[in-house]
Amino acid sequence: MLERKRILLILTGSIAAYKSLDLIRLLTKAGASVEGVLTEGGKQFVTPLSVETLTGKKAHVEMWDSQAYEMSHIELSRRADLIVVAPATANFISKMVRGEGDDLASTLILAKNKPVILAPSMNVEMWENPAFQRNLEIAKSDGATVIPPQADMLACGEIGMGKMAEPGSIMEVIDDHFRLASTLEGRRAIVTSGGTIERIDSVRHISNFSSGKQGNAIAIALAQSGAKVTLVLGKNSIGPASHPNLEVLEVVSAEEMHESVHKALPADIFVGCAAVCDFKVVNPSDRKIKKSEGLNIKFAENPDIVRSVGKLGPTDRPAVVVGFAAETEELIDNAQAKLDIKGCDLIVANNVSGGSVFGQDDNTAHFVTPEGSVELGTLSKRQLGQEISLWIFERLRR
């Protein structure tokens, strides 16, 4: 996947810079061409000579290199397929989102026309600082892919989030980037995510345990593949996903989600990942119901959002419709039944018994189609989102 790919690697001032030397080794072994850029801070931890020895190319440090005939900050970006900042310090990310350009590395980012992957590395308090987290969200919304750090013993002796991801993990993200890049360019997608809320009175409601992690991961994977994505997001515990190709519509109830989905049509792709409440309260109270009054709740069925899209006529139905089956028993049989009932091309089936999926970072899934089922095993929700995006791409190529 990385044969003849050109990677520009920026090393900033963190002790984790020593691990970036191993990342260079992995990249070049996979066939990539790597060119290194070091900040002044980066030079304190690894030498330009070390980077040059591993890449076989000049390591770039100075903005004004008298031996370089080109404008380095322009040319370095233009001849790369991907820019990776590993390690990415809090200071560098902050400069990046403010649009500062006071050295070669920051000016290169300011002049870039290529995708950027950030692998942050810093002290846990810096990582959790609200100002830095705001900067990180801006970097994501500007299109950067962020590889979260690990929780571990840090170089400063403190324990917590901030340790840069291992080189092997960074390699996986780089490989995924090239697998997905531009595969869905020119396509429009709608993704539902999170749970819905059905109000009982002014303080109580009915909902479920959905965190929104899987739906958000799918929306990001589709956006990174080039699709213009509308994410219809219900109750969630992680906040909306962000990407330049992504529009987020926040909703509360199943009826609101149903209305937002149909307003967002037409689309080429629909993925119904939201955990939608099957029933709504038809007699909600505008005030808090007192315990002494008792509850006299009446229910009615909510619209089946996936079915309402999957059963549209041929001129209105998206070319690919994907649904989810969260089951506690007879997983494959129930998923296969939903294929026809909901009019789906693919059902992603997972066993949610024992709280093994909701709120977790991993998912154990099967792809169920009219041709049969394929077990994917346990993947991170990010990886599963990418597998769904690739399946959709292959389906659209038929």
SS3 345: coil
**Per-residue pLDDT at 385 exceeds 70:** yes
**Residue 69: predicted pLDDT:** 43
Instruction: Specify the 3-state DSSP secondary structure of 58.
Output: coil
Active site residue 344: no
pLDDT, position 266: 97
pTM of the model: 0.78
* pLDDT for 379: 87
Are the CB atoms for 339 and 371 separated by under 8 Å? no
Which tokens is 254 given?
């199943």
Q: Which of 198, 187, 287 is nearest to 227 (CA)?
A: 187
Q: What is the pLDDT averaged over residues 272-276?
A: 96
Residue 293: pLDDT above 90? no
Percentage of the chain exceeding pLDDT 70: 96
Mean pLDDT, the chain, rounded, equals: 91
CATH class belonging to 188-396: alpha beta
The domain limits of the chain are 6-180, 188-396
Partnered with residue 379 across adjacent β-strands are 363
How far apart CA 305 and CA 108 sit, in angstroms, is 45
Q: Judge whether residue 147 has pLDDT over 90.
A: yes
pLDDT of 299 > 60? The answer is: yes
Active-site residue identified among 156, 273, 277, 344:
156
Please indicate whether the domains covering 6-180 and 188-396 agree at the CATH topology level.
yes
pLDDT for 189 equals 98
In the structure, what pLDDT confidence band is assigned to residue 141 with cuts at 50, 70 and 90?
confident
Q: Is residue 313's pLDDT more than 90?
A: yes
pLDDT of 240 over the 70 cut: yes
The domain defined by 6-180 folds into Rossmann fold (3.40.50)
- Under the banding of pLDDT at 50, 70 and 90, the label for residue 358 is low
Q: Are 344 and 322 in contact (CB under 8 A)?
A: yes
**167-180 vs 213-224: helix axis angle to the nearest 10?**
60
% of the chain with per-residue pLDDT over 90: 68
Listed ranges 137-141, 319-323, 356-360; the one with the highest mean pLDDT = 319-323
For the stretch 1-53, pLDDT in tens is 799 899 999 999 999 999 999 999 999 999 999 999 999 999 999 999 999 99
Neighbours of 182 (CB within 10 A): 10
The DSSP symbol for 63 reads S
Give the confidence band of 330 by pLDDT, cuts at 50, 70, 90: confident
Tens-digit pLDDT profile for residues 41-88: 999 999 999 999 999 999 999 877 655 545 566 788 888 999 999 999
Question: What confidence score (pLDDT) does residue 291 get?
Answer: 85
Instruction: Kindly tell me if the per-residue pLDDT of 360 is higher than 80.
Output: no
Flag whether pLDDT at 378 surpasses 50: yes
